[in-house]
Amino acid sequence: MGQMSAFWRLIGAGWVLIRADALIPRELDPLLPPSARLAARTLRLFSGPRARLGRPGQRLAGALEGLGPAAIKMGQFLSTRADIFGTPFAEDLSRLKDRLAPFPLAEAREEIERSLGRPVETLFAELEAPVAAASLAQAHPARLLDGRKVAVKVLRPGIERRVAEDSAVLRLAADLAEGLVPAVRRLKPRDFVEVVIRALDLEMDLRFEAAGCAELGEVMAKDAYMSAPAVVWQGVGKRVLTLAWAEGAPLSDPQALELPGLDRKVLAENITRGFLAQALDHGLFHADLHEGNLFVAAPDRVVAVDYGIIGRLGPGERKYLAEILYGFLNRDYPRVARIHFDAGYVPAHQDVDAFAQALRAVGEPVFGLDARDISMGKLLAQLFEITALFDMALRPELVLLQKTMVTVEGVARRIDPAHDIWAAADPVVRRWITRELSPAAKVRDFADEALKALRAIARLAEAPPVAAQAAAPAKPRPLTWFATGAAVAVVAITAIVLVFG
């Protein structure tokens, strides 16, 4: 897709939002400064008939639905933050999660047969009309020949072209933002967009999703905060995915939280702890945990579906994340500040003490408060001000993590309005700290590094001189034994110091 085509699609998207009065809706007028209010009213002169119908969330949902997969993904994200945008707005957007217009069953059958290379009847005894339709795919109830109930996910016909067009528009929007608005450059909009596009591209091959579901299912089973459905591998192709049926009610159903015997407090905690255990303990996590992808059953069972987007963290990112959370849990703001500097999240020329003071100004007012008394919109605004004040740049490798953390908290708060994400995180974070930063863990890490050094020294000591490489292999030299003894002695002494000192 060329730059000019992307430009006109971007203009078209803006026009759709203006026509629906969804760009700067009239309901925001009392909150806007005079100059912004004038601009909004000027844009509203071009609004269409739909602009006078419904609430802001309803108008925005209708506009986003027609703008394609990337716009729908944005709407799904906004719908998880009722605590920021208000419950009516979030509920109006919630239909974007799994209640979009489906494509016909006949087309789904054709897609299945084309992708699997076999007739539908050779695998499924029954294949029913779709029960959920999202931006990229829809889900059909079915039964295998052996009677097991399964869900069959099928990509929308032609969705790859739509995603490619959306990706071109996103790249153009990021380029324009970076070039025309200097204040957003530190947020690296181009890098952010590339992360989003990469995630969308991976969602276009359901074989990757099957592998992710199986991998994360093994991880989830270790803690049992949530679970994943089993993969039916004979029903997996590039555009088709077959999973065991997820028991329970989807959280996107308004009646799901009224199920008899449901423990909403524990349910919310399980979702928060399940995500953190995945990220901290295993370095991979479900990165699309909105209500449409979560099924619940009494008393507190959670089943996650849709593994098209999986986030991964390296050992360094996991360590920094755990230590930052641990520092906040203990209200140790100097420690949190130092970790930000050590990780490179804050530029080295900034003042670490001033940064700790800024963190304290954000953290202290909310500790001890009921979650219902905390304005997340105000809190996020304060955090954004701090990132600007200390010249913090967006970290592309953490985009999925940050986005998922915000989504998870939003979902948990919709389940339990009094949900305290810090209290829920505490046992998972403390477990990680105890395991990874204890004296025994330090001995283990040091021993690993010492053994690596030992092997390197041994290879160096045993290597014959360049001039003698053509001669007979050299015998081990005394330096090898010296290096071995020295390394072992260092490991032993360090272990004694760490454990007993």
CB-CB neighbours of 130 under 10 Å: 19
Instruction: Print the SS3 string covering 143-184.
Output: EECCCCEEEEEEECCCHHHHHHHHHHHHHHHHHHHHHHCHHH
CA–CA gap between residue 421 and residue 405 (Å, rounded): 10
Two tokens, residue 134: 């999202």
Report phi then psi at 20, rounded to 5: -90, 5
Contacts with 96 (C-beta within 8 Å, 6 or more apart), sequence order: 61, 64, 65, 72, 75, 76, 79, 134, 135
Q: Which of 276, 280, 277, 346 is nearest to 313 (CA)?
A: 280
The one catalytic residue among 288, 300, 416, 420: 288
Pair 148, 252: CB distance under 8 Å: no
Q: Which of 411, 423, 415 is nearest to 367 (CA)?
A: 423
Pair 420, 446: CB distance under 8 Å: no
Two tokens, residue 297: 């059953």
Two tokens, residue 363: 């953290």
**Cα–Cα distances in Å, from 232 out to 112, 212, 243, 420?**
14, 13, 5, 37
281 is catalytic: no
CA angle at 281 for the pair 200 and 228, rounded to the nearest 5°:
55
Contacts with 368 (C-beta within 8 Å, 6 or more apart), sequence order: none
**Cα–Cα distances in Å, from 277 out to 42, 295, 319, 420?**
49, 19, 13, 17
Residue positions annotated with a catalytic role: 288
